[in-house]
Copies of this chain bind each other. A is one copy, B any other.
Amino acid sequence: MTMDRQSTARSVWRLAAAVLAAIAVPILAQAPAAPAAAPTRQALVNELVVANHILANEGVLDGYGHVSVRNPADPNRYLLARAGAPALVTSADITEYNLESEAVTNAANAGGTGYIERFIHGEIYKVRPDVMAIVHCHCLDVIPFAATTVPMQPMYHMGSFIGEGVPVWDIRTAGGTDMLVRNNQLGRSLAQTLGNKSVALMRGHGAAVVATSLHLVVGKAYYLNVNARLQLQAMQLAGGKVKYLDPEQAKNSAQDYERSWDFWKSRLPSK
């Protein structure tokens, strides 16, 4: 609970910082004129495009899955690409949604339709004011955990957020007849299972990962998958006698993944 309050405080601070940056950057960069909101939005759109490309290039997403970011200028809106392979997303694909997951921009775009499962994003943003970015992935090494009752555990500090606990959501319990989060009601159920954690696994499907920024959510999704592989290896090595990070250590070891972002960005194929 303290953690939640801290998270909220942190995200408020980050929002404030983003707004300040929105004002400061154009002033510093091209002195007069340029209205504050526009460049910020474009910068955020560009970051979201990079996040899409990194997640595909590092194998967290393949042809499927998506990443969104809350609009810092309007917390009731979020940005998400229209339906398409993450590796191919461009800034023209980025669409703004309200929290009912209705498109408020780009709606009339020829050929562009929304991801069927955008409700994952809208419903989590509704109940988690601290969350500024969300990834929905089919991260491969996580799928086996989503199919069992073996709890995920933090193997090392890069996966410290796993120490919060990783609940597993089963769409059958929410009335889904296929595996897709096709409406707000299913999204709401997933958001409830997520609670105040960083990750909810989705049985037979993948995971939803949340964080207070785009850089953080990309890092968490990546290391969630790495940690899953390492935990399986450790269990193969020592069965039930693996020493995971203890809760205190995990809590004290939050990462910002900023160097990971720099590294992954530098590895993107040049177009």
Contacts and interface: CB of A to CB of B under 8 A. Distances in A.
Contacts of A233: 141, 144, 232
A241 interface: yes
This protein's copies in its complex: 4
A87 to B, nearest CB: 5
B204 A245 contact: yes
A249 B172 contact: yes
A259 B64 contact: yes
Contacts of A85: 259-260, 262-263, 266
A87 B263 CA distance: 7
Contact of A149 (B86, B147, B241): B241
A15 to B, nearest CB: 24
17 contacts: A62-B260, A63-B259, A63-B262, A64-B158, A87-B266, A88-B263, A143-B155, A144-B236, A144-B237, A149-B238, A156-B204, A156-B206, A178-B253, A179-B245, A203-B243, A204-B249, A232-B236
